[in-house]
Structure 1
Amino acid sequence: MPVISVPQAFNEEDLYVDLESMFGHRLFLKCEGFNFAGSIKLKAANEMVESAERSGILTKGSILVESSSGNLGVALSMIAACKGYSFVCVTDSRCNLASRQMMEALGSQVHVISHEHGSGGLLGARLAYLRALCAADDRYVWLSQYTNPDNWKAHYFTTAPAIARFFPELDVLFVGVGTTGTLMGCARWFRSWHRRVRIVAVDSVGSAIFGDPPGRRMIPGLGMSVRPPLLDESYVDEVVRVEEADTIRACGDLAKRGFLFGGSTGTVVSGAMAWLECHETSGLTSVAIAPDLGERYLDTVYQPNWVRTVFGDEETDVSEVLHRDLAAREPSTAQGWIL
C-alpha cells in the first residue's frame, strides 16, 4: 500500500472495466476517477501548476484563477490547498452543486456566472470575467486550460503510455472532448506508436468544438461553445456526437450494474457503443477513457426531477430516459464524421 504526504501523489492509473457483458460490445473503460480530485482533471491541474512554478510564473503570494465547469476546479482547489495558494474558480450555473461545495470545502472561492456574454455564451462570460480579474491585479495567475499546452502534455506523458502498456494491441481509442487536452495528448502519443490506433473523439450535441453552431447543453464536462485552441483535427480520425438523453441512458445502464459514473463518462460510453454498433468489431481491441465518477451528478443526471425538468418536452417518460437499455437503442442516435 502506498504512503503519500500530498493528495496529488495518488492516482489509480491501471483500472479498467470490461463492458462487453453489459452492452454486447468489447470495450475496456479506463477509470480515471480514483484519486483525491475524483477525475482525470487531476493530471492536467498538476502539470499546469508545476510547470507554472518551474517557469516562475506562479510564486508565493500568487492567486490562482481558472475557468472550470467543475472537475478541473476541484482538482486545482485540492492542489492549491496542499501548496498554500489561494484559488478563485470562475464557473457558471451549469456547474454541479457538489463540485462547488467541494471547492469551497477546500478553501477556494467560487464565482458563478449566470449571464451569457454575446455569442460566446456562458464560457465567453467566464473568460471575460477572468481577463478583468487579471488586468486589475497582477497577483492573479490564470493557467488557461483552454490554451495551455501543459494540459495535453499531462496526458502525453501519463494517460497514453499507461494505456499502451496495458493494451499493446490497441486498435481504437475513444476520448471525450472539452478543452481537448486529453484527446490531443493521447492522439499525439499514439501517432508515433508502433501500430496504427484509430482516434475517435466523442462530443456532445450542442458543442461547437468541431464546427457546429453552439446549442443547449445542460450536463457539464464535455463540449464547448467555441472551438478550443488546443485542437488539431489532423490527429482525429472520427467524431461521434451524443445527445444528452443518451448520456443519461448510458449512466443509468452503468448504474444498474453497480457502476456509478459521471456525465462525461456516460457520454463517452454512449458514443463508443454507437460507433461499435456500426463497425465490424470482431477481434478489435477498443478502449474508452472514463473521466469521472458519479457522485457529483446525483442531483442532475441521476435525479428524475432534474431529468423531467430538462427533457420533459422531449421525452414523454422520464423512467425511459433513465432506464432504457443503451444496448437496445437504434444506432442512428449518434452521428459520426470521418475527418
Structure 2
Amino acid sequence: MPVISAPYAFNEDDLYVDLGPSLGCPLYLKCEGFNFAGSIKLKAAAAMVESAEREGVLNSQSALVESSSGNLGVALSVIAASKGYRFLCVTDSRCNLATRLMMEALGSQVHVINNAKPHDSFLAARLAYVQALCASDSRWVWLSQYTNPANWRAHYRSTAPAIAHEFPQLDVLFVGAGTTGTLMGCARYFRHWHRPVRIVAVDSAGSVSFGGPPGRRMIPGLGMGVRPPLLDTSYVDEAIHVEEADTVRTCRALAHRGFLFGGSTGTVVSGAMSWLASHDGPPVTAVAIAPDLGERYLDTVYHDNWVRALYGDITVPETSPGTHPTGA
C-alpha cells in the first residue's frame, strides 16, 4: 500500500484496458488518468517544476505561469498548491468549465483568452500574454511545456519503460500529439530499445503539427496551432488525423461499455482503431496511451446539445466482441 505526503508522488503506471471485449479491437489502452491531477500531464508538470528548482530558476519568491488548454494547468495547480507556489494558468475559451473550476478550487488563478487577433491562433494569443507577463515582472517563471526538454524526458524515464516492461513483444504504439512531450519521450526510448516498435502519432484534424492545414478544433488536449518545437518527425513512423466527430463517437462508444475517458483518449483510440482495422499484415501487439479520464468533458463531449450544435447528430455504432466498429 503506497503512503504519500505530496499529491504528485503517486501515479498508477501499470493499469491497462484490453479493448477486445469492449470494442472488438486488438488494442491495449494504458490508462494515465489515475492520479491526483487526473491525467498524464502530472508527469511532465512534476519533471518541469523539479528541473526549474534544481537549476535555481524557481524559488520561494517565484510565481508560476503557463499556457495550457486544461490538463497541464490542473497538474501544475496540484503541484503549486502542494509546494506553496502561486500559479496562473493562461487558457482560452475552449477549456472545459470543469477544468477551470478545478484549477480555481486548487487555489490557482485562471486567465481566459476569449478572442485571438485575426490570423492568430488561440495558442499564439496565449503565448503572447504569457511572454508579456514575464517581461513585466521577473518573478514570473514560465516553464514552457512547448519547448522544455523535461517534458519529454519524463516519459522517456517513466511511461515508455513501463510499457516496455509490460509488453516485451510490442509492435505498435499509438501516442496522441499535443506538445509532443509524451510522443517524443516514448519514441526516443523505443528507438533505442532491443526490438523495433512502430510509433504512430495520433493528431486532431485541424492541427498543423504534421504539416496539415489549420482548421477548427473545439476539443482541448491534442493538436497544435503552430508546429510543436519539441517535435522531431524522424522518430515518428506515421501520423494520422482524427476528426472531432469521430473523437466524440469513440468516447461515447467507450462510455457505453462503462469506460468514461476524455477527449484526448477518444482521439487516440479512434485513430488506433482505424489503423488496426486497415492493417493487412500479421496480428500485432498494439498499445495506445490514454492521457485522461472523462469527468471534465461532461459539458462538452458527453453533452448532447454541445455535440449537436458543433457536429450534428452523432451515432454510436453498436459493437460486440470480435468486431471492428466502422466510422470510429
TM-score where L is the length of structure 2: 0.97
Q: Which moved more, 1:30-39 or 1:18-27?
A: 18-27
Residue 311 of structure 1, CA deviation: 1.3
Amino acid in the other structure paired with 1:170 = L
Is it true that 1:10 corresponds to 2:2 in the alignment? no
Partners of 1:153 and 1:83 in 2: how far apart? Answer: 22
Partners of 2:229 and 2:156 in 1: how far apart? Answer: 17
Q: Look up the match of 2:286.
A: 286
Q: Look up the match of 2:123.
A: 123
User: Relative contact order, CA 8 A, sep 6+: which one is greater?
Assistant: 2
Residue 265 of structure 1, CA deviation: 0.1
Q: Look up the match of 1:324.
A: 317
Residue 283 of structure 1, CA deviation: 3.4
Q: Which runs of 5+ in 1 are unaligned?
A: 313-317, 334-339
Q: Look up the match of 1:205.
A: 205
DSSP-derived class of the 1:272 partner? helix
2:245–2:314: 8 Å Cα contact kept in structure 1? Answer: no
1:43-90 CA deviation, whole Å, 9 max, x = no partner? 000000000000000011100000000000000000000000000000
Q: Look up the match of 1:239.
A: 239
Is it true that 1:192 corresponds to 2:192 in the alignment? yes
Amino acid in the other structure paired with 1:4 = I
Partners of 2:177 and 2:244 in 1: how far apart? Answer: 14
Partners of 2:203 and 2:229 in 1: how far apart? Answer: 16
Q: Look up the match of 1:315.
A: none
Partners of 1:11 and 1:25 in 2: how far apart? Answer: 26
1:267-326 CA deviation, whole Å, 9 max, x = no partner? 0000000000111364310000000000000000000010011113xxxxx252xx2347
Residue 328 of structure 1, CA deviation: 3.1
DSSP-derived class of the 2:12 partner? coil
Partners of 2:7 and 2:298 in 1: how far apart? Answer: 24
Aligned length: 324
DSSP-derived class of the 1:119 partner? coil
Amino acid in the other structure paired with 2:317 = R
1:117–1:124: 8 Å Cα contact kept in structure 2? Answer: no
1:81–1:107: 8 Å Cα contact kept in structure 2? Answer: yes
Partners of 1:209 and 1:203 in 2: how far apart? Answer: 8
DSSP-derived class of the 2:119 partner? helix
Is it true that 1:300 corresponds to 2:297 in the alignment? no
Residue 116 of structure 1, CA deviation: 1.2
Amino acid in the other structure paired with 1:79 = I
Partners of 1:197 and 1:230 in 2: how far apart? Answer: 20
Backbone CA RMSD of aligned residues: 1.1
Q: Look up the match of 2:176.
A: 176
In structure 2, relative to structure 1, the CA distance for the partners of 1:228 and 1:118 (3 Å cut) is farther
DSSP-derived class of the 1:209 partner? coil
What percentage of aligned pairs have identical amino acids?
72
DSSP-derived class of the 1:264 partner? helix
Q: Look up the match of 1:337.
A: none
1:248-273 CA deviation, whole Å, 9 max, x = no partner? 01001100110000000000000000
Q: Look up the match of 1:336.
A: none
Amino acid in the other structure paired with 2:292 = D
